Structure 1
Amino acid sequence: MTVRPIIALDAMGGDGGPAITIAAAEIAHKRYPKLSFRFYGREDAIRAELARAPRVAKNAVIVHSDEEVLGTDKPSQVLRRARRSSMGMAVEAVKAGEAHAAVSAGNTGALMAIAKLGLRTMEGIDRPALAALLPTLRSESVMLDLGANTECDEKNLVQFAVMGAAFARTVLGLKKPKVALLNIGEEDLKGTHELKAAAAMLRGADLPMEFVGFTEGDKISKGDIDVIVTDGFSGNIALKTAEGTAKLVVTLLANAFRSSALTKLGYIMSRPALRALRGHLDPNNHNGAVFLGLNGIVVKSHGSATARGVANAIGVAHDLVTADITRRIASDLANFDAHRAPAAAE
Structure 2
Amino acid sequence: MTRISIDAMGGDHGPGVVLPGLKKVVERRPDIRFVVFGRREVIDPLLETMPGLKAVSEVVHCEVAVGSDEKPSQALRHGRWKSSMWKAIEAVKDGEAEVCVSAGNTGALMAMSKFCLRTMAEIDRPAIAAIWPNLRSESIVLDVGATIGADARQLIDFAILGAAMARSIFDIQRPTVGLLNIGVEEIKGQEEVKEAGRLLREADMKSMQYRGFVEGDDIGKGTVDVVVTEGFSGNIALKSAEGTARQIAEYLRAAMSRTLLARIGYVLAKGAFDRLREKMDVRKTNGGVFLGLNGLVVKSHGGTDAEGFAAAVELAYDMARRDLLGRIRRDLELFHGGQPEIAAAAPMDEATGTARHAG
TM-score range, shorter chain: over 0.9
Give the conservation status (yes or no) of the 8 Å contact 2:284–2:304: no
Q: Which moved more, 1:273-282 or 1:6-15?
A: 273-282
Q: What residue number does 1:5 align with?
A: 2
Per-residue CA deviation, residues 292-314 of structure 1 (Å, 9 max, x unaligned), is 00000111001111111111111
For residues 253 and 205 of structure 2, the distance between their equivalents in structure 1, rounded to whole angstroms, comes to: 48
Q: What residue number does 2:168 align with?
A: 170
Opposite residue 191 of structure 1, the aligned amino acid is G
Q: Does 1:239 align with 2:242?
A: no
Opposite residue 18 of structure 1, the aligned amino acid is P
| 1:1-346 aligned within 5 A | 4-80=1-77, 81-204=79-202, 205-340=204-339
Per-residue CA deviation, residues 190-248 of structure 1 (Å, 9 max, x unaligned), is 00000000001111422321110000001210112111100000000000001111111
Gaps of 5+ in 2: 341-359
**Tell me, what secondary structure is at the counterpart of 1:203?**
helix
Per-residue CA deviation, residues 23-66 of structure 1 (Å, 9 max, x unaligned), is 11111112211110011111121111111111111111111011
Gaps of 5+ in 1: 342-346
Give the conservation status (yes or no) of the 8 Å contact 1:207–1:332: no
For residues 201 and 36 of structure 1, the distance between their equivalents in structure 2, rounded to whole angstroms, comes to: 42
Give the conservation status (yes or no) of the 8 Å contact 1:24–1:307: yes
Opposite residue 269 of structure 1, the aligned amino acid is L
**TM-score normalized with structure 2 length:** 0.92
Give the conservation status (yes or no) of the 8 Å contact 1:5–1:35: yes
Opposite residue 293 of structure 2, the aligned amino acid is L
For residues 216 and 206 of structure 1, the distance between their equivalents in structure 2, rounded to whole angstroms, comes to: 22
Give the conservation status (yes or no) of the 8 Å contact 2:283–2:303: no
Could you list the structure 1 runs, at least 4 aligned residues long, displaced by more than 3 angstroms after superposition: 338-341
Q: What residue number does 1:344 align with?
A: none
Give the conservation status (yes or no) of the 8 Å contact 2:298–2:316: yes
Residue 339 of structure 1, CA deviation: 4.4
For residues 135 and 245 of structure 1, the distance between their equivalents in structure 2, rounded to whole angstroms, comes to: 13
**Tell me, what secondary structure is at the counterpart of 2:249?**
helix
For residues 225 and 140 of structure 1, the distance between their equivalents in structure 2, rounded to whole angstroms, comes to: 9
Give the conservation status (yes or no) of the 8 Å contact 2:35–2:60: yes
**TM-score normalized with structure 1 length:** 0.95
Per-residue CA deviation, residues 268-311 of structure 1 (Å, 9 max, x unaligned), is 22222111111111224422211100000111001111111111
Opposite residue 255 of structure 1, the aligned amino acid is A
Q: Which moved more, 1:191-200 or 1:130-139?
A: 130-139
RMSD across aligned positions (CA): 1.3
Give the conservation status (yes or no) of the 8 Å contact 2:176–2:211: yes
Q: Which moved more, 1:257-266 or 1:45-54?
A: 257-266
Q: What percentage of residue pairs aligned between the two structures are identical?
A: 46
Give the conservation status (yes or no) of the 8 Å contact 1:180–1:215: yes
Opposite residue 265 of structure 2, the aligned amino acid is G
